[in-house]
Structure 1
Amino acid sequence: MNIHRALISVWDKTGIVDFALQLKNRDISILATHGTSLFLKEHGIDVVEIDQFTGFPQLLDGRVKTMHPKIFAAVLARISDQNHLKQLSQLGIEPIDMVVVNLRPIPKVSDEKSLLESIDIGGVALLRAAAKNYRDVVPICDQKDYAFVIDSIDQCGDIVLQERRRLCAKAFFVCGEYDLAIYKVLSDLFAIES
């Protein structure tokens, strides 16, 4: 099996308990952000919180959770690059093979502060990093892909390249749509004509 560690950070928890349980049943360890970790632990699923993995607490009322070099090195390392593996080893970092993220929705609000506080930064960055490194990291941003991913792991111990490419493209599409949604709300809020 090529997938050993998954990072999960989901706003919409639909289907995540069953998916995480399926991962655990296949000996895949799970890292999770605070809210996701609490949710999974409430359902009896053992996970490691991000701050335990990084040795660094979340900051600024939760604005900074996953933005840490230990997380991004684990996601962006090319497994085929011996120099990357050496650097990870020297720093005691184990690779992350799967990133499961769905983004906090952009609300239709009438005030700037509420909007800016609701924008997901870490989730978008994680999803983009995983998609950039799709050959080594499976980016998952849609609950509809959970069952397929488990089936693929059962069939071949991995996600085949063409499906990794599909998940990569979907992740970048989701990030682009997210940025566009922010742009539209800001344009309305600031009365900017495009």
Structure 2
Amino acid sequence: MKVKRALISVSDKTGVVELGKALADLGIEIISTGGTMRTLKEAGVPVIAVQDVTGFPEMMDGRVKTLNPKIHGAILAVRDNPEHVKAMKEHDIKPIDLVVVNLYPFQQTIAKPDVTLAEAIENIDIGGPCMVRASAKNNKYVAIVTNPAKYGEIISILQKDGEFSDQYRLELAQEAFHHTAVYDTAIAAYLAEQVQKGAAK
């Protein structure tokens, strides 16, 4: 299944311009959000804003931007299920084949000596993990990339084959679930510390 459409939304911008340029050169349509979109546009990479796909602006200080059926339906649709295909047509949902996401820097934020609970909370990513988990769940059809170190490999495979093997998408899904598990574990541990501090007062 050829990769035709990608969504890129990353906190760590390492290598994202090179990836974006390579995808664009291959004729792959790129959807993006906020800072990632600005970074790609400034580098001359053609990109479509998520809000132009969803019909809703980014809102609530960026807390809500990708949580929309036009995004999650595009990721989660089972491509050979007639009911899913019908729903996509009815609601004008175009499939997304490649999702490149890494999460808000929660661990780096709480490592700061003077970080407040409010600052830590704001760096708990919501939309990112939703997209990562949705893509990883639907790995039969969608490739999920959470690690910038994989970009070179991703580019090489797409330049050679234009698509990913089932095995490779499964490997990416496993890495993605590990990524969100580590992230959630860090959040749970930090909040446990805050609970203990509160109890000690």
Q: Per the shorter chain, which TM-score range?
A: over 0.9
Counterparts of residues 97-176 of structure 1 (less than 5 Å): 97-106=97-106, 107-108=109-110, 110-176=115-181
SS in 2 for 1:61: coil
After superposing the two structures, state which structure 1 stretch, 163-172 or 184-193, moved more.
184-193
Give the aligned residue type for 1:157. G
CA shift for structure 1 position 59:
1.4
Counterparts of residues 66-77 of structure 1 (less than 5 Å): 66-77=66-77
After superposing the two structures, state which structure 1 stretch, 183-192 or 19-28, moved more.
183-192
Matched, 1:51 2:51: yes
Q: Distance in 2 between matches of 1:91 and 1:124?
A: 24
Q: What is the total number of aligned residue pairs between the two structures?
A: 193
CA shift for structure 1 position 156:
2.1
Give the aligned residue type for 2:16. I
1:144-178 Cα deviation digits (max 9, x unpaired): 11111121122222111111111000000000000
1:18-43 Cα deviation digits (max 9, x unpaired): 00100001000000012111111011
Identity score, percent: 39
Give the aligned residue type for 2:174. A
Give the aligned residue type for 1:186. L
After superposing the two structures, state which structure 1 stretch, 38-47 or 103-112, moved more.
103-112
1:119-159 Cα deviation digits (max 9, x unpaired): 11000100000000011110000011111112112222211
CA shift for structure 1 position 190:
2.1
| TM-score, reference length from structure 1 | 0.95
Q: Distance in 1 between matches of 2:22 and 2:161?
A: 15
Gaps of 5+ in 2: none
Q: Distance in 2 between matches of 1:25 and 1:72?
A: 26
Q: Distance in 1 between matches of 2:161 and 2:66?
A: 30
Q: Is the 8 A contact 1:2 1:158 kept in 2?
A: yes
After superposing the two structures, state which structure 1 stretch, 122-131 or 155-164, moved more.
155-164
Q: Distance in 1 between matches of 2:118 and 2:149?
A: 33
Residue in structure 2 matched with residue 84 of structure 1 by the alignment: 84
Give the aligned residue type for 1:36. T
CA shift for structure 1 position 90:
1.1
SS in 1 for 2:61: helix
Residue in structure 2 matched with residue 27 of structure 1 by the alignment: 27
SS in 2 for 1:58: coil
